[in-house]
Amino acid sequence: MRKKYSNNFTIIGLGMVGTAIGYLLKKAGYEIAAVFDKSPSALKRAKLYIGSKAFSTPHEALHKADFILITTPDDIISSVCREIALSPAIKGKFVFDMSGAGGLDLLEVARKAGAIIASIHPLQSFSSVDQAIQNIPGSYFGITADKKAGMIAKKIARDLGGIPFLISDEQKPLYHAAACFASNYLVSLMSVVESIYQVIGLGEKEAKKAYLPLVYGSLRNIERSGSIHALTGPIARGDFGTLQKHLAAINETLPQYSSLYRSLGLIALQVARQKGSLNKRQAKKINDLLKGVVNNEQSK
Q: Are 42 and 134 contained in the same domain?
A: yes
In this predicted structure, what is the pLDDT of residue 58? 86
Which residue, among 215, 36, 242, 24, has the nearest Cα to 120 in the 3D structure?
Answer: 24
pLDDT range class, residue 3, cuts 50, 70, 90:
low
In this predicted structure, what is the pLDDT of residue 296? 46
In this predicted structure, what is the pLDDT of residue 144? 97
pLDDT range class, residue 4, cuts 50, 70, 90:
low
In this predicted structure, what is the pLDDT of residue 294? 62
In this predicted structure, what is the pLDDT of residue 6? 73
How far is it between the farthest Cα atoms of the chain? 83
Q: Are 148 and 82 contained in the same domain?
A: yes
- Residue ending a domain, among 138, 169, 200, is 169
Which residue, among 19, 26, 13, 12, has the nearest Cα to 156 in the 3D structure?
Answer: 26
Mean pLDDT along residues 93-101 = 95
Judge whether 174 lies within some domain.
no
How far apart CA 82 and CA 233 sit, in angstroms, is 53
Q: Are 294 and 240 contained in the same domain?
A: yes
Judge whether 57 lies within some domain.
yes
In this predicted structure, what is the pLDDT of residue 7? 85
Q: Are 127 and 200 contained in the same domain?
A: no
Judge whether 1 lies within some domain.
no
In this predicted structure, what is the pLDDT of residue 64? 87
In this predicted structure, what is the pLDDT of residue 1? 35
Domain containing 144 equals 8-169
Judge whether 175 lies within some domain.
no
Residue 242 has pLDDT above 90, yes or no: yes
pLDDT range class, residue 2, cuts 50, 70, 90:
very low
CATH number at residue 162: 3.40.50.720
Mean pLDDT along residues 150-161 = 96
Measure CA of the first residue to CA of the last residue in the chain; give whole Å: 83
In this predicted structure, what is the pLDDT of residue 299? 45
Mean pLDDT along residues 234-254 = 97
- Any bridge partners for residue 145, and if so which? 118
Q: Are 194 and 287 contained in the same domain?
A: yes
Judge whether 228 lies within some domain.
yes
Q: Are 15 and 82 contained in the same domain?
A: yes
3-state secondary structure of 161: coil
Residue 187 has pLDDT above 90, yes or no: yes
3-state secondary structure of 25: helix
Predicted confidence (pLDDT) per residue in 160-173, tens digit:
999 999 999 999 99
Q: Are 57 and 96 contained in the same domain?
A: yes
Q: Are 216 and 294 contained in the same domain?
A: yes
In this predicted structure, what is the pLDDT of residue 293? 84
In this predicted structure, what is the pLDDT of residue 235? 97
Residue 145 has pLDDT above 90, yes or no: yes
Judge whether 268 lies within some domain.
yes
**Mean pLDDT, rounded, of the chain:** 93
Q: Are 255 and 186 contained in the same domain?
A: yes
pLDDT range class, residue 54, cuts 50, 70, 90:
confident
pLDDT range class, residue 59, cuts 50, 70, 90:
confident
| DSSP state letters, 40-101 | HHHHHHHHHHT-PPB-SSHHHHHTT-SEEEE-S-GGGHHHHHHHHTTSGGGTT-EEEE--SS
Percent of the chain with pLDDT over 70: 96
Mean pLDDT along residues 245-274 = 97
- Residue ending a domain, among 169, 192, 224, is 169
Q: Are 188 and 162 contained in the same domain?
A: no
Helices and strands in the chain, H and E counts:
16, 7
Percent of the chain with pLDDT over 90: 89
Number of domains in the chain: 2
Judge whether 39 lies within some domain.
yes
- Residue ending a domain, among 169, 196, 222, is 169
Residue 300 has pLDDT above 50, yes or no: no
Judge whether 16 lies within some domain.
yes
Q: How long is the chain?
A: 300
